[in-house]
Amino acid sequence: MSRIGKKPITIPQGVEVTVSKESLKAKGPKGELEVDIPEEIEVKKEGSEITVSEKRQNKKSRALWGTTRSLIANAIEGVEKGYTKELQIKGVGYRGEIQDGNLVLKVGYSHPVEIKKIDGVEFAVTKDIVSVSGIKKDLVGRVAAQIRSVRPPEPYKGTGIRYKNEVIAMKEGKKSAGS
């Protein structure tokens, strides 16, 4: 039995949820999202709670049960609060700025790297912190990972782009051989 799938999802104040046979729509103060429901999974709305269960007990439905419940919970939390990932830019002369809604990173290459604006994701830059925010958790995470991959943290000096609270295991440099 799925430990995650068994847990009911509480619907917070200010969020409207509509359940149909093949999808669930969540509408809140931040926006509106739709989650597709696989045919092996049954979703019921009872008052201010949503329960997710299997229609038939087989391997495929067990695999989808907890995943579907997590996707629904993420959609509800996204339309209520939204998601934010913060990245820190470290290095001499490294910086980020916003031009026409696009994120422009100057991180030691001969040219600035431009991350195009994506629908549903907003960028904000304050000093050396880049914030990526939106209502879709997977999209925010994917864009943050794309930004980090422009200049991943380097283990000798610690320069590069990292998640705000990420700890980088620093390595020792080479030692001189003659002493």
Supply the DSSP string of 108-148, one letter for each residue. SSSS-EEE---TTEEEEEETTEEEEEES-HHHHHHHHHHHH
Q: What is the pTM of this model?
A: 0.86
End-of-domain residue from the set 26, 47, 80? 80
pLDDT band per the 50, 70, 90 thresholds, residue 175: confident
Residue 114 falls within a domain, yes or no? yes
Asked if residue 37 has pLDDT above 80, the reply is yes
Q: Is the domain of 103 the same as that of 141? A: yes
Q: What pLDDT is stored for residue 143 in this prediction?
A: 95
Bridge partners (DSSP) listed for residue 172: none
Query: Are residue 109 and residue 132 in the same domain, yes or no?
Result: yes
With respect to residue 32, please indicate whether it lies within any of the assigned structural domains: yes
Q: What is the mean pLDDT of residues 119-132?
A: 93
Q: So what's the pLDDT on residue 178?
A: 61
Domain end: 52, 80, 108, which one? 80
Identify whether the C-beta of residue 136 lies closer than 8 Å to the C-beta of residue 33: yes
- For residue 65, the domain's CATH number is 3.90.930.12
Q: Give the pLDDT of residue 122.
A: 93
Residue 113 burial (CB < 10 Å; 0-12/13-18/19+)?
A: middle
* Neighbouring-strand partners of residue 52: 43
Q: What is the C-alpha to C-alpha distance for residues 39 and 103, in angstroms, rounded to an integer?
A: 40
pLDDT level of residue 1 (50, 70, 90 thresholds): low
| Dihedrals phi, psi of 100, to nearest 5 degrees | 55, 35
In the predicted structure, residue 48 carries a pLDDT above the cut 80? yes
Number of domains in the chain: 2
Nearest by Cα to 76 from 126, 7, 125: 7
Tell me what the mean pLDDT of segment 20-33 comes to. 92
Give the pLDDT confidence of 155-168 residue by residue, as tens digits: 998 899 999 998 88
**Rounded Cα gap, residues 169 and 175, in angstroms:** 19
Confidence of residue 63 (pLDDT cuts 50, 70, 90): confident
Report how far apart, in Å, the C-alpha atoms of 170 and of each of 128, 153, 167 are.
20, 10, 9
Percent of the chain with pLDDT over 90: 74
- At 172, the pLDDT band (50, 70, 90 cuts) reads confident
DSSP line for 151-162: SPPPTTT--EEE
Domain of 27, in residue numbers: 3-80
The predicted structure's pLDDT at residue 179: 55
Distance CA 85, CA 139 (A): 11
Residue at 109 is within a domain: yes
